[in-house]
Amino acid sequence: MVDATAWWGVAHLLVSAPVVVHALLYKRDPRAAWGWIGLCLLLPLGGALLYFLLGINRIQTRAQRIAPLRLFLHIPYERGAPPEAPLGNRLVPPLPEDQLSFVRVSQQVARRPLLAGNQLAMLENGDGAYPAMLAAIEQARERVFLATYLFETDATGRRFIDALVAAHRRGVAVRVLIDAVGERYDFPWASRLLRRAGVPVARFLPPRLLPPTPYLNLRNHRKLLVVDGQTAFTGGMNIGGRHVLRDNPKGTRDLQFRVEGPVVGELEDVFREDWRFAAGERLDPSPRPNAAGSSYARALVDGPNEDMDKLLLTLEGTIAAARREVLVVTPYFVPPQALLCALQSAALRGVAVHVVLPERSNLRYVDWATRNLLLEPLAQGVRVYYQPPPFDHSKLLVIDRTYAHVGSANWDTRSLRLNFELNLEVVDPRFAARLADHIHALRARSRPVTLAEIAERPLPQRLRDAACWLFSPYL
């Protein structure tokens, strides 16, 4: 008679074997494959369950909306589909060579053209951004599309809810997309309040028990407001009172950007695609906006779907094209090794590479993981600075005071592999110079991180930091 231990071993083998085979065939990073295989072998049944919930990170969004049953029965793969063919150079605008070098990689992978005639305005914190966003919603005549990761229902969030409800009641086509995990940071949930007032709301990949959702770890981190197809707001800012520093001096600093011009059409396309996936409704595009300024701009999307690695490839390519200066501001800095090497290579070429981080973010374990990897870039000439409070949530890249990225993506594996992100690529010396001046002002109030302080950390801190770094792919 077979004892219980033998039956348990057979069950463990039957459950773990498919996970091991899947990780071997479809994981792109051998370290990730080893990690999941080890977890499944060492943690009976639980490892396989965690892999099903957190380890599968590729879905289809562009071709069709995936029904819940299809999500349950069909497990898409990280490496299961060949990459799209590049667009080539037929849509490259007539830029000078020193500017064209920055967009060669994005031109091949973005699948969207770089558009002339745009204007961007920088709005600091919720104090500057929210009044402009609320005014745009209140003045909307035809449609309001809003996507956000966090939508708090404090006094600030309620002002947005009231403005959206008022727009809906006067006949404006309002659509609100909220990440299903992000909105649970506050209660009551914004989606419930909006639905009660009749506003169409969709939640992105809501967790379910039946059928189980294998995409719990994949979140829509994009922040986007598009009004009447003519004006857009994008950046790193969620909706909530934490960003209003006038009322909360210890809150969270951030930047949002008001965008006008033809690239607003691309931003609206991003929302329409996400809305079709989440809500199953196809929205017709708005008429394309006319030229409004002198910036070239392009929407860059990235996520664990057909767009995987597009942002990472673009960042690596633009840093490789840098000749004088690379400026980075990010709240979380645990980049993939290839991106870290790109920064180090630029510094070794003589490019001034400055990375501005918060002294203390809202996620201490990410800060500790960051410290574990700073030794090598500091040794290779990358200059790192810690900002004092309040916590700065901005995500910025400026190269040679000519080229810039603004948007939602952090410099970590979660943003560059697991989240759905939206950055705006901008080629405009005047805009990039203003943004560079802003970053240098942040750097001036920050303290430089020295090689000695990282190298001479006490052993307990080094062990703690290294342990957090081990989990960096999912921080």
pLDDT by residue for the chain (475 residues), tens digit each? 456 666 666 666 676 777 777 766 666 666 666 666 776 777 766 777 667 666 666 566 654 443 343 333 344 445 444 455 555 444 567 888 889 999 999 999 998 999 999 999 999 999 999 999 999 999 999 999 999 999 999 999 999 999 999 999 999 999 999 999 999 999 999 999 999 999 999 999 998 776 666 677 789 999 999 999 999 999 999 999 999 999 899 999 999 999 999 999 999 999 999 999 999 999 999 999 999 999 999 999 998 887 788 999 999 999 999 999 999 999 999 999 999 999 999 999 999 999 999 999 999 999 999 999 999 999 999 999 999 999 999 999 999 999 999 999 999 988 998 899 999 999 999 999 999 999 999 999 999 999 999 999 999 999 999 999 987 766 6
User: Same domain for 262 and 335?
Assistant: no
Given this model, what pLDDT does residue 324 score?
98
**Given this model, what pLDDT does residue 66 score?**
39
- Counted domains in the chain: 3
From CA 47, how far away is CA 64, in angstroms rounded?
A: 31
Residues 277 and 330 in one domain: no
Q: Is residue 93 part of a domain?
A: no
* Residue 410 structural domain: 310-474
User: Are 362 and 416 in the same domain?
Assistant: yes
Identify the helix (H) or strand (E) that includes residue 274.
helix 263-279
**Are 190 and 248 in a shared domain?**
yes
Residues 247 and 414: their CA atoms lie apart, in Å, by 31
* Residue 179 is assigned to a structural domain of this protein: yes
> Measured between alpha carbons, how far is 226 from 264 in angstroms, rounded to an integer?
7
pLDDT at 76: 44
Q: Structure pTM?
A: 0.88
The backbone torsions φ and ψ at residue 201, rounded to the nearest 5 degrees and listed phi first, read -130, 140
The stretches of 358-397 forming alpha helices (DSSP H) are 364-373, 375-379
pLDDT value of residue 28: 65
Which residue has 């070098």 as its token pair?
101
Q: Quick one: which of 181, 140, 145, 405 has its CA closest to 271?
A: 145
Contact 305, 204 (CB under 8 A): no
Let me know if residue 74 belongs to a domain: no
SS3 assignment, position 45 = coil
Q: What is the CATH number of the domain that holds 173?
A: 3.30.870.10
Residues 242 and 274 in one domain: yes
Residue 202 placed within a domain: yes
Contact 222/141 with Cβ under 8 angstroms?
Answer: no
- Inside any domain, residue 11: yes
pLDDT of 7 reads 65
In a domain, 117, yes or no: yes
Half-sphere exposure of 205 (CA within 13 A, CB side): 25
Q: How many residues does the chain have?
A: 475
CA 53 to chain centroid, in Å, comes to: 20
**Pair (335, 291) in one structural domain:** no
Q: Where are the alpha helices (DSSP H) in 151-262?
A: 155-169, 190-196
